[in-house]
Amino acid sequence: MKKWVYFFGAGKAEGDGEWRDLLGGKGAGLAEMTKIGLPVPAGFTISTEACDYFYKHGKRYPPELKKQVLDNVKKLEKATGKKLGDPKSPLLVSVRSGSARSMPGMMETILNLGLNDKSVDGLAKATNNERFAYDAYRRFVQMYSTVVMGMSKEDLEHRLRDMKKRLGVKNDTEVPASGWKELVAEYKQYFQEKSGSAFPDDPMEQLWGAIGAVFGSWMAEKAVTYRRVEKITGLLGTAVNVVQMVFGNTGDNSGTGVCFTRDPSSGEKIFYGDYLPNAQGEDVVAGIRTPVHLTELKKLMPKAYAQLEKVRVKLEGHYKDMQDMEFTIEEGKLYMLQTRTGKRTPAAAFKIAMDMANEKLITKEDAVMRIKPEDIERLFYPVIDSKLDKKALEARILARGIDAVPGAAVGKVCFSAAEAEEWAKRGDKVILVRRETSPEDVGGMAVAQGILTATGGKTSHAAVVARGWGKCCIVGAETLDIDYKTKQMTESKSGKVVKEGEWLTLDGSEGVVYAGQLALVTPQLPKAYETVMSWADGIRSLRVRTNADTPQDARKAIEFGAEGIGLCRTEHMFFTDFEQPEKSHERQRAIQEMIVAEDREARVRALDKLLPFQRRDFIGIFKAMDGFPVTIRLIDPPLHEFVPHEHAKQAELARELGIPVETVARRVEQLHEANPMLGHRGCRLSITYPEILEMQVRAIIEAAIECQKAKVKVLPEIMIPLTLDKKELGILEQATRRVADDLIQKAGVKLPYLVGTMIELPRAALLANEIAEVAEFFSFGTNDLTQTTMGLSRDDAGRFLPDYVDEKKAGVFAGDPFQTLDTKGVGMLIRWGIENGRKTRPKLKVGICGEHGGDADSVKFCHQAGMDYVSASPFRVPISRLAAAQAAVEARQRAAKAKGKRR
Amino acid sequence: MKKWVYFFGAGKAEGDGEWRDLLGGKGAGLAEMTKIGLPVPAGFTISTEACDYFYKHGKRYPPELKKQVLDNVKKLEKATGKKLGDPKSPLLVSVRSGSARSMPGMMETILNLGLNDKSVDGLAKATNNERFAYDAYRRFVQMYSTVVMGMSKEDLEHRLRDMKKRLGVKNDTEVPASGWKELVAEYKQYFQEKSGSAFPDDPMEQLWGAIGAVFGSWMAEKAVTYRRVEKITGLLGTAVNVVQMVFGNTGDNSGTGVCFTRDPSSGEKIFYGDYLPNAQGEDVVAGIRTPVHLTELKKLMPKAYAQLEKVRVKLEGHYKDMQDMEFTIEEGKLYMLQTRTGKRTPAAAFKIAMDMANEKLITKEDAVMRIKPEDIERLFYPVIDSKLDKKALEARILARGIDAVPGAAVGKVCFSAAEAEEWAKRGDKVILVRRETSPEDVGGMAVAQGILTATGGKTSHAAVVARGWGKCCIVGAETLDIDYKTKQMTESKSGKVVKEGEWLTLDGSEGVVYAGQLALVTPQLPKAYETVMSWADGIRSLRVRTNADTPQDARKAIEFGAEGIGLCRTEHMFFTDFEQPEKSHERQRAIQEMIVAEDREARVRALDKLLPFQRRDFIGIFKAMDGFPVTIRLIDPPLHEFVPHEHAKQAELARELGIPVETVARRVEQLHEANPMLGHRGCRLSITYPEILEMQVRAIIEAAIECQKAKVKVLPEIMIPLTLDKKELGILEQATRRVADDLIQKAGVKLPYLVGTMIELPRAALLANEIAEVAEFFSFGTNDLTQTTMGLSRDDAGRFLPDYVDEKKAGVFAGDPFQTLDTKGVGMLIRWGIENGRKTRPKLKVGICGEHGGDADSVKFCHQAGMDYVSASPFRVPISRLAAAQAAVEARQRAAKAKGKRR
């Protein structure tokens, strides 16, 4: 006969703590706690399989269930020495749902089941508290009527209010026993009117009603929606836990509390929790009375406290993780009602993981697995002071956008990058606000405290650049109507106007824009961070590099643990001189002169001006990366990004270059493209203008030679972007080697360097076997590869991608494919590319340099796909290091599992 | 001993006509003609293997070659009864190159070899013509000096001019024997000065010099370049043909000519050719004297003519194709010097193929294989009258662009689509000239004679729409600077200005724009066309559908042999009412009203106005396609294409809709996208605005039901564009079926219909197995699939793609991938998609509806990949029908070959 019901009590349990799928989280926890000898009220759990059967058979129970429940009720009566409905000292039970995954507040609970007109008197006598007994009774009738029978809560509450009015009292606590008695009668009459039959007196009838209600709540609309939104799938249903009631509200010798085995805020190994004397769990939740600290319990009831302290040690030792527990003390006796893994702050997560590993409670691998990658990010950035009043904060909200880079920032609104630079020079804190940003704005972005744009998504220019710097950034705040002329913006829903110079606070972690100047705090980096991360580094096999374009970024990334540069975008150097900002203009003019030039000679002249700048930047980067490889990508963006589009700026450029403004305007017009993402960019520029490649390779190799002479270990990797064909790549590879080998030979040095390519077009991935004949390494540019594989422009997808990700709308994707790699589609191309590339060149070095290199799930995919390294923006390097270690552990676990070993 | 030299003469040949690779085209032809008993001067061929050896061994001859050449010279002397250098009646030979592939003018020839101071007298005596002999001698010395020794042609010509001046004569023909004698002496002296040694008198020495020169010419820069440009690869080298000289210029009993076995212009089975009495082949080429028609030869030399007539029959019967032959008559005796397959006009190609099949000379399959797909296209379109003076034409050229749609057109320049419609209404012929076109311009494009744009490539909007109509179109004429304000354009190189209303002639076949009004002629469609095409239809298995958006196009396509519609773009219907042009405005306003609407209700109201229009169009299309399937694509382009971007038009729209112009302007601004190709378009619109899909499905199904009631056989196939995921497609498929099934049920009819998708994103192709769970058919949208797979915007690629295709620059691709499918990259995805789609759904219907469906090579790929049909624009349907038949024949031939059978 199939077993549907599992008993626990008196130190024994038919269930097991591992059987979450069968017993639900609560049932498994109760069974486990019982087994390890903790004081748990006895009870039994109807399995999730019964719920599954129920729904698969037209809401009928399994035939064997009735007898099994009856048997278990008898067992429970025996264990507790009480009987359901006993007019002397009745057994009362709670009936609660509990599925394998926590679904807080989504399903039903019925307390005090077993009360009727007779047993209530027994309860009154047994507790010597008539008021308590009738209060419990009216609560049960109310719960049963609403939860099981679906009657109106409002109708019942209404009667309670009327009664209190009649009695002239305000609070429930003032209602005497007679009042509750009266209310029970009224409730029962209401029940009779509504249902046409009397309120069930028989406790077994009550129990079956409650079981049915719990099963029914599994398919209630709110529960179904919750599971869909939270992406909870694969569950059989809910279990039903029938447990002896214990009462914390029988007098001062009773009480209830919640505690953590360690401090969930700091992670310190101290006993932490709240206790409310003479109260039930519901009262703690309702927040009517203020609980006292756990240390008070020690004073009030030293024996019970000592018992709880033992439970703490036992549970943590058993579960090997910080536990969040609920308990009740009834007449001095401790009962454990629930235990689960406790939530904690990011800092606490590190501290607890480190301490537990040091205590040998867990392994270092376990410690690494305990950290969530997003915890790391939250360690670094300043945040809005959490002490600020929440309602006041709410009122300050100006607009919402996309949380592009976390952290918070405060500054004065400035709508122009150039002015932002001026303001910053004179010491002002600036928030740069733009419709969208372009490489021209990089200088202003660099000096701003935070960046806010009205358009774009998480991989728009603003987001990508800001992320590289770990600078707070909100993009796609589409309700902001920005007017550059009048220098103000209007929030289109509220009509609120913010003018240039006014204060603004950005919460980049939440994507919220606040008007005014809010207080910020920067969290302290916990010491445990360094320890756990060093363990992670010892575990991972995937290397972690960084995307860095300047010596400053490179140094920053080294601090964050980067092991080289996976993507150095040379074009940012065309616009900004981070070491000598006064030279930025000179750089810009040189690249612009190159673009408007009419022939190769004139282009070469202009490029010669850029050469020393690029060389200087490369020297700085090589020095910062001494001993680590540096992958430098040759020019990538379309040229129109480098030229001014406004007439005034074009005129200025023309004046400085001594050419007619029409020439500049015509050239800019010529550069306009319908789809610049698919246009004249990447290595296509070097095919058309080989002189650009020649200058860049010269700058790289000259810098490398100079560094080498200064005893810096240089490992340059020259990367050709947007390749789509072996022949195309071959032409550029040859051109690269011609310049490089010539310089190396003339310098009389030995300088190993690699020439490789980005794989960012489907065709390149498809033909990886051919491309690997030329390329010494592949770097998957997954931003563009995602754009082309999915036909999604990351700059435009903000308009409809939210619908695609929103489970309630289309729900096509689990997440934004520009944040977390589409492992199914794009991932298929990546796996194909790696596999076929290595067929041609077994030692092909493979990495990733898209935004996904800093996303934990994507990093794990990269490990699985067999990459050698990932590259992330400096602030995300620690995330990638951790994720890489977790991927390695998971792979080992999978391998062990596959071998049939137990963990 | 390896054989390097192959003799032919006196009816026997060591070589064979099939050995083109070994003997070159000329050598193989001479051997073959000799073998079948035609009068061919004797000679021998040094094989291409010898040339290959030559280059592989540091330009040394194979050791055996010397003896083999000597032996063959002796054999030749024996066959001709003459001896090289004989002072009485010397043997003279020509030494010519000849590789397996024709490379006209690229390699060297030396004539009259064997002459020296002694033998020239022998020749004079033998021919009784001293002037002829010395003329031949000086020609030989001149050729030898320049070709073999590389001396200056100019220096020698200079001496010739001086001599004529001295003699006071103008033409070479007036120079007496003494003049030539004098010149020979001068040439030899020049030779001595330049080379330091005497001109070689020994004929064998002359011969080796000539052989070396021919081998050397194989690697001359111009020949190497020619092979690269023409993509001639895999050849061993050139052969050297040493052939007895025969002379057509020995008197009136001699002559030379070129003839075709059938009329290359009409294809008529008549003997066609030119004859020049008393002349050498060179004279015909030089064009100094006008040749007479072959019929004259019949009168002049009836015997030789009769002999030639026999050769004609023999050669055609032998080669089974129309031959282009060269012959010389020396003293009444006919010699055949060359034969090759003759070039012909498109009309002749059909006529000849049909006639030969009817004559049982070839099979019907052969006949189908004889037609080049591009021949078909040239049959249909008007062309500029070929009788016009070429120099005058040249002077009229205003600009050059990309030959988007062939044919020619004449009209008055108009820079606005709206005005073009007005002008056309009043009877003017218009050439619509735009920077680029958009769907707003379709009305103006429809009435124009031809379309010219300054930007865009062969798959730009203008090109695609014009091709659908078979309307002459030139795009990407980038030197044209168009000013809409002043209504004029300036050609930037010449500075020429063309104003509105001036005449323009377009040659769409060549991409040339002429100023002024040129005469056009429309070729007559040959009767053979229908016959051969019906044979093609009998052979092919691939179905051919058409891309048609209007009932007119649909009817046109049926005339061209379409078997259904593979792509009906519903959005064109939003802009133009082809049956009731006065209704176009109403349609436009309805779609624009929908776009600016603020909520679903308002959108539905606007869509309700469009519904009757779409339904009427579909009824027309279904009727035209009675019994054939019609694939209708739901809305695809981004909405910004439907709204006005100029302020005046926005104001007009706002006025008509009764809303503020700011609302319109804001909405248009909102719709702007950085990369519209990858933006909010395709089925993404139907995810956001399901009401658009609902209206369109309603229009389709209501039209289908109405047609069915009128006994029209309707087979609607509803196609969802730009799918990237099964779930996305599933949502829209369900929405489609809900509307359709409801209508069908209410109408109480049975109406089978299909729901399928376009595969135009790499992700969709990669996940074809999943997508086929939902889709009943796949239609590969190869325009967009090419764009995304290669990361190439077809609107922008014009800037750099030419470099990629140009063999002299990068030469990455053999052709424009938007014209001929990139079978390697994009093709890999297509094959993957078909294979995996059919794994899920074995009967999955698969077609192609990109521009490639009308490209012969791409159609052949589609056949190989196992597609069910291709879809082409109406005018290209015949090309696809032919290509599909050829693909079937080729597949059979390959299969037969694989079985080891002989053809």
**pLDDT tens-digit profile of A691-732?**
999 999 999 999 999 999 999 999 999 999 999 999 999 999
Cβ separation B763–A722 shorter than 8 A:
no
Is B849 part of the annotated catalytic residue set?
A: yes
pLDDT digits (tens, 9 = 90+) for A852-863: 999 999 999 999
Q: What length does chain A have?
A: 903
CA distance linking residue A391 with residue A657, whole number of Å? 56
Residue B601 φ/ψ, nearest 5 degrees? -60, -45
A245, pLDDT greater than 50: yes
3-state secondary structure of B320: coil
- Alpha carbon of A489: minimum distance to chain B alpha carbons (Å): 15
Give per-residue pLDDT as tens, A284-299. Answer: 655 556 788 888 899 9
Q: Tell me chain A's radius of gyration from C-alpha atoms.
A: 34
Alpha helices in A172-324 (DSSP H): 177-195, 203-218, 221-229, 281-286, 294-300, 302-319
Q: Is the pLDDT of residue B286 over 60?
A: no
CB A323 within 8 A of CB A293: no
Q: Is the Cβ–Cβ distance between B884 and B870 less than 8 Å?
A: yes
Say whether B789 and A677 touch across the interface (CB within 8 A): no
**pLDDT above 70 coverage of chain A, percent:** 98
Q: Are B702 and B615 in contact (CB under 8 A)?
A: yes
> In whole numbers, what is the pLDDT of chain A averaged over residues?
91
pLDDT category of residue B903 using cuts at 50, 70 and 90: very low
SS (H, E, C) A267-294: CCCCCEEEEEECCCHHHHHHCCCCCEEH
Q: Which residues of A touch B724 (CB under 8 A)?
A: 790-792, 812, 825
Q: Is residue B90 packed enough to be buried (19+ CB in 10 Å), middle (13-18) or exposed (0-12)?
A: buried
pLDDT digits 0-9 by tens, B742-769: 999 999 999 999 999 999 999 999 999 9
Q: Which are the contacts of B44, defined by CB distance < 8 A and separation ≥ 6?
A: B5, B6, B7, B8, B69, B72, B75, B76, B241, B242
pLDDT, one tens digit per residue, over B787-823 is 999 999 988 888 888 889 876 677 899 888 999 999 9
Looking at per-residue confidence, does A875 or B634 come out higher?
B634
pTM for the whole structure: 0.82
Residue B227 confidence class, pLDDT cut points 50, 70, 90: confident
How confident is the model at residue A740, as a pLDDT? 98
- Measured distance between the N- and C-terminal CA atoms of chain B, rounded to whole angstroms: 33
Cβ within 8 Å, pair B763-A789: yes
Question: Out of A849, A852, A862, A863, which one is annotated catalytic?
Answer: A849
pLDDT tens-digit profile of A106-123?
778 899 999 999 999 999
Burial of A695 (0-12, 13-18, 19+ CB in 10 A): buried
A678 with B677: Cβ contact below 8 A: yes
Q: Which of B688, B762, B803 is nearest residue A688 as measured by Cβ atoms?
A: B803
Q: Which residue of B has its CA nearest to A671?
A: B799
Report CB contact under 8 Å: A812, B763.
Answer: no
How large is the average pLDDT for residues B342-362? 93
By mean pLDDT, which of A459-468, B59-68, B218-227, B597-606 is the weakest? Answer: A459-468
The string over B192-218, giving b where at least 16 C-beta atoms fall within 10 Å of a residue's C-beta and e elsewhere, is eeeeeeebbeebeebbbbbbebbbbbb
Determine the average pLDDT of the residues in B330-348: 89
Q: Which residue of B has its CA nearest to A724?
A: B790
Share of chain B above pLDDT 90, in %: 69
Identity of the residue in B731, B761, B812 whose CB atom sits nearest the CB atom of A810:
B731
Given A461, A572, A640, A852, the catalytic residue: A461
Q: Mean pLDDT throughout A891-896?
A: 93
In a mutational test of the B interface, the residue from A680, A688, A763 whose CB has the highest number of chain B CBs within 10 Å is A763
Contact: A826, B787; criterion CB under 8 Å: no
Please answer whether residues B61 and B50 qualify as being in contact, where contact means their C-beta atoms are separated by less than 8 angstroms.
Answer: yes
Please state, in angstroms and rounded to a whole number, the distance separating the CA atoms of residues B61 and B55. Answer: 9
The shortest C-alpha distance from A670 to chain B (Å) reads 9
**Average pLDDT of the residues in B723-752:** 97
Tens digit of each residue's pLDDT (9 = 90 or more) over A18-72: 899 999 989 999 999 999 999 999 999 999 999 999 999 989 999 999 999 999 9
Of B637 and B222, the one with more pLDDT: B637
From B473, B568, B849, B862, the catalytic residue: B849
- CB A673 to CB B796 under 8 A? yes
> Does residue A849 carry a catalytic annotation?
yes
Q: How far is CA B227 from the centre of its chain?
A: 18
Closest in A673, A762, A804 to B762, CB measured? A762
Please list the helix, strand and coil fractions of chain A in percent, rounded to the nearest 5, in that order: 50, 15, 35
Name the residue facing A722 among B679, B727, B791 (closest C-beta). Answer: B791
Are the beta carbons of B767 and A824 separated by less than 8 Å?
yes
Chain B neighbors of A680, CB-CB under 8 A: 796, 799-800
Distance from CA of B726 to the nearest CA of A (A): 8
Contact state of A687 with B789 under an 8 Å Cβ cutoff: no
Nearest CA in chain B to A722: B791
- Is B825's CB within 8 Å of A679's CB? no
Give the model's pLDDT for residue A199: 96
Q: Looking at chain B, which residue has its C-alpha nearest residue A683?
A: B800
Q: Which residue of B has its CA nearest to A760?
A: B791
pLDDT tens, position by position, B508-538: 988 999 999 999 988 778 899 999 999 999 9
**Is ipTM strictly over 0.90?**
no
Q: Which of B675, B784, B825 sits opposite A763 (nearest CB)?
A: B825
The alpha-carbon gap from B792 to the nearest alpha carbon of chain A, in Å, equals 5
pLDDT of residue A903: 44
CA–CA separation, B490 vs B138, rounded Å? Answer: 54
On chain A, the residues whose CB falls within 8 A of the CB of B680 are 796, 799-800
Select the residue from A766, A782, A808, A821 to test the B interface by mutation, using most B Cβ atoms within 10 A: A766
Does residue B377 sit in helix, strand or coil?
Answer: helix
